[in-house]
Structure 1
Amino acid sequence: MLQQTCGEALTRLLQAYAVDTVFGIPGVHTIELYRGLKGATLKHITPRHEQGAGFMADGYARVTGKPGVCFIITGPGMTNIITAMGQAMQDSIPMLVISSVNRTQQLAMGEGRLHELPNQLAITSQVSKFSHTLLSVDNLPKVLAQAFTIFSSQRPGPVHIEIPIDILAQDASHLDMQPWPMPKPPAPEASSIQQAVTLLSQAKRPIMILGGGAKNVDSVAQTLAEKLNMPVVNTCNGKGIMPPDHPLAIGSTPSHPAIREEIERQADVVLAVGTELAETDYDFFFLGDLNIQGKLIRIDIDSAQLMRNHKPTLPIMSEAQQALDAINKQLPINSHRNTDPVYARCSKLRADTQDMKKSAYSDFFKTITETLGDCIIVGDSTQPAYYAQAYYETSHTARYFHSTTGYGTLGYAFPAAIGAAIGAPHLPVIGLTGDGGGQFSLNEIISAVDANIPVIYIVWNNQGHAEIRRFMDDAKVEKTGVDIIPPNYVALAIAMGCQATHADSLAELKAALTKAKSHGAPFLIELDESALDCGYAF
């Protein structure tokens, strides 16, 4: 009898790196991955599709900051999870996907083995920061150390490790089970900080943009904004970094023409922190790429990202918190600054964005927050999520996220909300999906029931793919494939053991949310868009 197989050693090492939850569907090729779960402290959640496993891991990672971990079978399991890895890759979400692969002597032979992909890494390498085949048990600690180094000190994203079936069963009793010490993320270079201080001190009309890479900056961003009397814009993944009621906060509307005008032409210095400056945040209305006229200071943990999309005047490779803290320490407080004109400018910019704000959507989100209080909303590609990307603000980070931007996949909310609820059990979690997008992953409702995860699902029913209907109308293309028949979500949910109800008004939504909050188990609310007369989000 072996004292410890490679599969068992892997489980123990994951626990050593503070992993507490694994999402996966067992298969004949992953039996040895599951051997080590007996007696382990790891919680195992079983989705109904590997894509659901990836989205659960994504939602868990966003609210905890820890990597979401998945156990996936060879071949179809990996091709199923690829979409979820693509979404995580685009949004820089830490995810560890551990899969089996065919036996070492069978690799790349193309002999038609069960679940065989002749080159599994060729696929996964396109949606991961690091993809590796473990060919020796001795290398397991080293490879896991490389994975967790990416999570702790680099721009995060998915990591994939595949282990041949025969390697999983080999003896690993001799391995050192202690986790490797992790390096710290990069700190800014002193001369770059001095240049940034000089540029910002001399600026007459600076502006700061905070992206998802700045979500852990705590109060240093607010301190810097106040020192410089500098308006702050945040992207969708940067919601909650700056208090939304702060007079210098403009909000998450960098795609709005008025905000783009401020960034492109009015600001003499733009400080962009942890943001790609990419299309889905800054050109949501397809107005064209940003054309920043002033000086651009970019802070990013990824050196390659500093050179994408826009040429920086000053690139600073650093973790956001350290860079902003260093700037703050060298930047004196301007006690003679006149805040009134800038506050008035920010107020006008906020007012300028209201022209696209639909009151029904605003009331919808207000109903949720007034009923549930501090909560997490996980959005799919659906009309309310398009609205929320720009106009829904949060007082804390990781309280709203969605799949609408970045990779832009459908089917995200049902499973990702499960992961978020596991990661933040003290908060109510909403999974917000449309009736069209919900059909991509509605099978995950029963996963929430099976694991008794008290997710509140809201299905926004507009009878098909309404956003694509609008684009077809605008392009004068005959509508095809968009007026699909939605299922009866309430009946389906009940059939899966999930309590469910219809809501035909905001008052009924409030009553249903109140009931769901006290229910302590999965709860689905189907809301008919036509009852609220919302129209399109934009």
Structure 2
Amino acid sequence: MTTVGEALISLLEAHGVDTVFGIPGVHTVELYRGLAGSRIRHITPRHEQGAGFMADGYARACGKPGVAFVITGPGLTNTITAMGQARADSVPMLVISGVNATPTLGLGLGYLHELPDQQGMMAKVAAFSERITDPARLPAVLGRAFDLFRSARPGPVHIEIPLDVMGLPVEALKAVSSAAQPRTPDPATIQKAAALLAGAGKPLLLAGGGARHAEAPLRQLAERLDAPVVQTANARGLMHGHALTVPASPSLKAVRALIADSDVILAAGTEFGPTDYDMYGDGGFAVPAQLVRIDIDAGQLQRHPATIAIEADCGEALEVLAAAIDRSKGPASGAERAAAARLAAFAEIGPAMQAQVAAVETIRASLPGAIIVGDSTQPIYAANLYYDHDRPSGWFNAATGFGALGYGPPAAIGAALAVPSAPVVCLTGDGGFQFTLPEIAAALDSEAPVTFVVWNNRGYREIETSMRDVGVEPVGVSPAPPDFCKLADAYGIGSQKLQGPAGLAQALGKARATKKPFLIEISVE
């Protein structure tokens, strides 16, 4: 006989969970009963928002769901921001929380951490939220969550267990798993799409975050069609250095011109969100007339109707499409079109952003195959516009979609724990870093060798510029930064301060050699 909390740990193990991020509290003690004797590693952040961001970074880096344990009430509300980011970027995340005893729920009796309707609140953010009042339902609810992660558009899932249920004795509960897979591409639809693409004079591929695990079939199809491949921010790292790659934002005029000049476009795993396609809000992007779309989510396909819609996993659909197309005698203009777009896009971002991209390229050159996790800071904005990363799923940040500040440091820790063989760099600004700065201690605790690169321009420079651009006197945009290197020293973490990005390569080499967390502060004008 075991308790519900112990059964939960066993079930998570059965689903392949090896890491949980969380801060224990009196409302989750029983969830921890079986943890110490399990194979699951527990990582303690300094704030529940950090737990959610760590789970997010873990999931993006390795593809497995990130899992967080949080207390009811403030612990869960602190995690909502991270869940919002995961929802926006289709990241598989499982958040397991407590909730007050079943007889007290919804009565407003003033219990500790009480909310009027916790599950109702979470249902608005999560892909789904379930309360476990009958322990026998736990395997099925967990099975539903992992089925969603495997076979549909992923996102955050919330499961809450009341205090009076966590410690109940239960017979051994067996994990419920199924062979749930994404919908198989419809053969007739594939043939129609293949015919349309094969007949194109100037085909083009748009790759979004949904294609980030499909590099091989994406390359095969692009080469078969001789088609340039435009990547949104969440697709960067695919086809690095390839002659057909256009690692530039569709918000740029040069990329929009390439799209407009194409007669048939295949969009794989992209939702056409404004933060990728219209970040300047000028309304200059139009969904192409001759459009083939691949997406795992039927609802997403309905939001932007296409000439041909393929509901399927991107990898599988791209593979069968490539096999169905023979373009061996097609025009050989794709590489030239891609090269012209790259040149024009890089020129368009201008000298200031080009210099910031150069700093990011220094990281890539100094640490080949690194995972670079970003926050909302100027070099990230610049590189989201134009930058070619060298590792699939190795470039991600919170500067698109939901746009949560403070994402970078904890997400980088999660990524380092997920892929310990890869160098991991957190690129953050001095403003965003202060949102989750204490999480560097969690990097030390967990022996996650993240290099934190802090771009210090002493304030919210992007917001200040936006205010000035519309004639608003800047207010509230200059929070004083601390001496980050002294703070790193206080935590027992090595550091180095640079005046500008010169010397960054040497500092990165020093950081990598320590095999421990390290902080590099870059002071910029």
SS in 2 for 1:502: strand
CA contact (8 A) 1:75 1:117 kept: yes
Within the alignment, does 1:35 sit opposite 2:29 as a pair? no
CA contact (8 A) 2:153 2:297 kept: yes
SS in 1 for 2:170: coil
CA contact (8 A) 1:102 1:164 kept: yes
Q: Flag structure 2 segments of 5+ consecutive residues without an equivalent.
A: none
Aligned-pair CA distance for 1:442: 0.5
Aligned-pair CA distance for 1:294: 2.8
Within the alignment, does 1:105 sit opposite 2:100 as a pair? no
Within the alignment, does 1:338 sit opposite 2:331 as a pair? yes
Q: Distance in 1 between matches of 2:321 and 2:368?
A: 35
**Residues 364-373 or 212-221, more deviating:** 364-373
Q: Which residue of 2 aligns with 1:212?
A: 209
Aligned-pair CA distance for 1:420: 0.5
Q: Distance in 1 between matches of 2:116 and 2:134?
A: 19
Aligned-pair CA distance for 1:320: 0.8
Tell me the TM-score normalized by structure 2: 0.97
Q: Distance in 2 between matches of 1:495 and 1:289?
A: 49
Give the one of 314, 319, 323 matched to 2:313.
Answer: 319
CA contact (8 A) 1:267 1:294 kept: no
Q: Distance in 1 between matches of 2:241 and 2:491?
A: 42
After the TM superposition, which residues 52-451 of structure 1 pair with which residues of structure 2 at under 5 Å, given as runs? 52-176=50-174, 178-241=175-238, 243-263=239-259, 265-288=260-283, 290-308=285-303, 310-332=304-326, 334-339=327-332, 341-355=333-347, 356-358=349-351, 359-451=354-446
- 2:96 counterpart letter in structure 1: I
CA contact (8 A) 1:279 1:289 kept: no
Q: Which residue of 2 aligns with 1:525?
A: 520
Provide, for residues 252-276 of structure 1, a one-character-per-residue CA deviation record: whole Å limited to 9, x for no partner.
Answer: 321111211222x322211101000
SS in 1 for 2:385: helix
Provide, for residues 482-524 of structure 1, a one-character-per-residue CA deviation record: whole Å limited to 9, x for no partner.
Answer: 0221111111121122122211143432222111101121111
Aligned-pair CA distance for 1:388: 1.4
Q: Distance in 2 between matches of 1:240 and 1:298?
A: 21
Q: Distance in 2 between matches of 1:366 and 1:249?
A: 16
- 2:249 counterpart letter in structure 1: T
Q: Distance in 2 between matches of 1:182 and 1:51?
A: 33
Aligned-pair CA distance for 1:179: 4.3
Aligned-pair CA distance for 1:174: 3.9
Provide, for residues 34-66 of structure 1, a one-character-per-residue CA deviation record: whole Å limited to 9, x for no partner.
Answer: 001121000000000000000000000001100
Within the alignment, does 1:459 sit opposite 2:454 as a pair? yes
- 2:335 counterpart letter in structure 1: Y
Q: Distance in 1 between matches of 2:459 and 2:273?
A: 29
Q: Distance in 2 between matches of 1:244 and 1:198?
A: 28
Q: Distance in 2 between matches of 1:175 and 1:222?
A: 44
Aligned-pair CA distance for 1:239: 1.1
- 1:285 counterpart letter in structure 2: Y
Q: Distance in 2 between matches of 1:454 and 1:174?
A: 38
Q: Distance in 1 between matches of 2:88 and 2:368?
A: 30
Aligned-pair CA distance for 1:293: 4.3
Aligned-pair CA distance for 1:322: 1.5
**Residues 488-497 or 427-436, more deviating:** 488-497
Q: Distance in 2 between matches of 1:283 and 1:452?
A: 40
Aligned-pair CA distance for 1:68: 0.3
Provide, for residues 451-474 of structure 1, a one-character-per-residue CA deviation record: whole Å limited to 9, x for no partner.
Answer: 222111011000100000000000
- 1:331 counterpart letter in structure 2: I
- 2:178 counterpart letter in structure 1: P
Q: Distance in 1 between matches of 2:391 and 2:505?
A: 23
Q: Which residue of 1 aligns with 2:466?
A: 471
- 2:67 counterpart letter in structure 1: V
SS in 1 for 2:124: helix
1:197–1:502 Cα change, 3 Å: same
CA contact (8 A) 1:152 1:182 kept: no
Q: Distance in 1 between matches of 2:148 and 2:194?
A: 30
Within the alignment, does 1:483 sit opposite 2:478 as a pair? yes
Q: Distance in 2 between matches of 1:11 and 1:123?
A: 25
CA contact (8 A) 1:230 1:342 kept: yes
Aligned-pair CA distance for 1:289: 5.6
Aligned-pair CA distance for 1:363: 2.6
CA contact (8 A) 2:248 2:342 kept: no
Aligned-pair CA distance for 1:357: 4.6
SS in 2 for 1:271: strand
Q: Distance in 1 between matches of 2:421 and 2:240?
A: 23
- 1:19 counterpart letter in structure 2: V
SS in 2 for 1:117: coil
SS in 2 for 1:98: strand
Provide, for residues 164-215 of structure 1, a one-character-per-residue CA deviation record: whole Å limited to 9, x for no partner.
Answer: 0111101122422x44223111111122111101211221221110111111
Q: Distance in 1 between matches of 2:343 and 2:74?
A: 50
Q: Distance in 1 between matches of 2:198 and 2:331?
A: 15
Provide, for residues 310-335 of structure 1, a one-character-per-residue CA deviation record: whole Å limited to 9, x for no partner.
Answer: 32111111111121122122212x22
- 2:388 counterpart letter in structure 1: E
CA contact (8 A) 2:52 2:79 kept: yes
Q: Percent identity?
A: 47
1:509–1:245 Cα change, 3 Å: closer
Aligned-pair CA distance for 1:144: 0.4
CA contact (8 A) 2:5 2:167 kept: yes
SS in 2 for 1:524: strand
Aligned-pair CA distance for 1:400: 0.9
Q: Distance in 1 between matches of 2:284 and 2:7?
A: 49
Q: Distance in 2 between matches of 1:402 and 1:280?
A: 12
Q: Distance in 1 between matches of 2:130 and 2:122?
A: 9
Aligned-pair CA distance for 1:285: 2.3
CA contact (8 A) 1:272 1:299 kept: yes
Aligned-pair CA distance for 1:370: 2.4
**Residues 341-350 or 208-217, more deviating:** 341-350
CA contact (8 A) 1:58 1:416 kept: yes
Tell me the TM-score normalized by structure 1: 0.95
CA contact (8 A) 2:467 2:474 kept: yes
SS in 2 for 1:131: strand
CA contact (8 A) 2:277 2:285 kept: yes
After superposition, the CA RMSD in angstroms is 1.3
SS in 2 for 1:397: coil
**Residues 434-443 or 216-225, more deviating:** 216-225
Q: Which residue of 2 aligns with 1:535?
A: none
Q: Distance in 2 between matches of 1:46 and 1:390?
A: 35
SS in 1 for 2:215: coil
